Structure 1
Amino acid sequence: MRHRKKSRRLVGSWEHRKALLRNLLVALFINERIQTTEAKAKELRRLADKMITLAKRGDLAARRQALSILPNKAVVRKLFGEIKDRYAYRQSGFTRIVRIGPRRGDAAMMVIIELVTDKLEHKPSKKEVIKTEEKPVATEKTEETAKEEAAPKVEEQEEISAAEQTAEKSEEETQPEAKTEEKPEAEEKPEEKEVSEEPQASQEVAEEATQEKTEEKAEASQEEKPSLEEKKE
């Protein structure tokens, strides 16, 4: 007795069932339209809706959870890139099942399961409608408010121009003072020349003293030579 068993068995073992649904899911996201039996399609729809809701979350945890179910990086990349953008305004009903008739042999009902490609128009909620109605009222400005806002700007410009004029006048007044201060520097230059001449004079005196010393030494050496010759005799 299969009491309280909502899922369909489809195959014998759980591992076989898991592999079957995984392969059907990969084929559905790659081709976006596949043909299978009605029982398999209804079980596949549950997994497909779950995977698309994970893709709409878009965070790292959702991507890892999707990879645990679908170990195919290319399919997961397509799911989190292209497919999720189609269903930005759709909360459910991402797949469609269409019956095409019984299969020959066992008379199993065959269906086509596909991803919904119809664009769902976004209907704004009551809160969004209220916000959009309030925005124009807040943004509209009367002529009086515009004039009141423009008046302080004109006053600021006048103050700036007056400050610039005072700054230019102060610069003009300081320039003549700077020229007058430069003249004493030119007068002080001859004193610098005199100071530079003093070291030259001191150098000449030192040179004369050294020449006198050398001459005295030479005379003293000449006087010592005859005394040495007398001693030898």
Structure 2
Amino acid sequence: MRHGKKVNNLGRKTAHRKAMMANMACSLIEHKRINTTVAKAKALKQFIEPLITKSKAENNQTAEKGTHNRRIAFKNLRSKEAVTELFSAVAEKVADRPGGYTRIIKLGNRLGDNADMAMIELVDFNELYNAGKPSKKSTRRSRRSKSKAEPAKASETAASEAEAKPAAEAKKEAVAEEQKAPEKEAPKAEAPKEAKPKAESKAKDEDAKE
């Protein structure tokens, strides 16, 4: 019986088990998902998640502490390429996740020995599960409160309106002057003289001759 034994040795000696965990962890970091047995997947989950937490915390710590975390990761992974990938791409991807970086999905039994198979993957690199989630904006928000921002906006709008009013009034005055100017300049039309009848003019001429 294995009562109280928290570590699954997986039927291997210590050196063999450490080498196998390092190899599987490097493959998971490189390919983002691997297929293995359920027992190995659970052991790998406990092995790699503390390393991902150390890689994520490097940006919030001093340079000496970050170097120390890289050395611990290299001691467990035994691969410079895997450590570089872990502290760059993987750490940037899981920066906002507080834990639970891996997911185990059972695949059924293996044909040869009927062993329980599973796929273990990094959660944030699954594009199908994360397709519907909105991406977070990286813009920085100001610390000013809304109560202070609203009066500032109100004063800005009032100032813009005050500047716009004189300009609008000046335009109206200019248009009115243009409309009055043609009326002043236009000369008054003279009333047409009534034409005298020809008969009356002939009678006056005859009277004058007499």
* Alignment TM-score, normalising by the size of structure 2: 0.59
Structure 1, unaligned stretches of length 5 or more? 124-130, 148-233
The amino acid of 1:143's aligned partner reads S
Shift of 1:135: 2.1
- Equivalence for 1:51: 51
What is the CA deviation profile of residues 77-128 of structure 1, one whole-angstrom value per residue up to 9, with x for unaligned ones? 11100011111111112111111111123211011111112557689xxxxx
- Judging by fraction of residues, say which structure has more helix: 1
Structure 2, unaligned stretches of length 5 or more? 59-65, 137-141, 160-210
Structure showing greater radius of gyration is 1
**SS at the partner of 2:119?**
strand
The amino acid of 2:43's aligned partner reads E
Aligned: 1:77 with 2:84:
yes
CA RMSD of aligned residues (A): 2.6
- Equivalence for 2:69: 62
Aligned: 1:14 with 2:14:
yes
CA contact (8 A) 2:29 2:86 kept: yes
Extract structure 1 runs of 4+ deviating beyond 3 A: 118-123
Shift of 1:139: 3.4
Structure-to-structure mapping, 1:1-233, within 5 angstroms: 1-58=1-58, 59-116=66-123, 117-118=125-126, 119=130, 135-140=145-150, 141=152, 143=155
Percent of pairs identical after alignment?
38
What is the CA deviation profile of residues 47-94 of structure 1, one whole-angstrom value per residue up to 9, with x for unaligned ones? 121111011011222111111111211111111000111111111121
Q: Quick one: distance in 2 between partners of 1:115 and 1:33?
A: 6
* Alignment TM-score, normalising by the size of structure 1: 0.53
How many residues in Structure 1 have an aligned counterpart in Structure 2? 139
If asked which structure has higher relative contact order (CA below 8 Å, sep 6+), I would say: 2
CA contact (8 A) 2:22 2:78 kept: no
CA contact (8 A) 1:89 1:122 kept: no
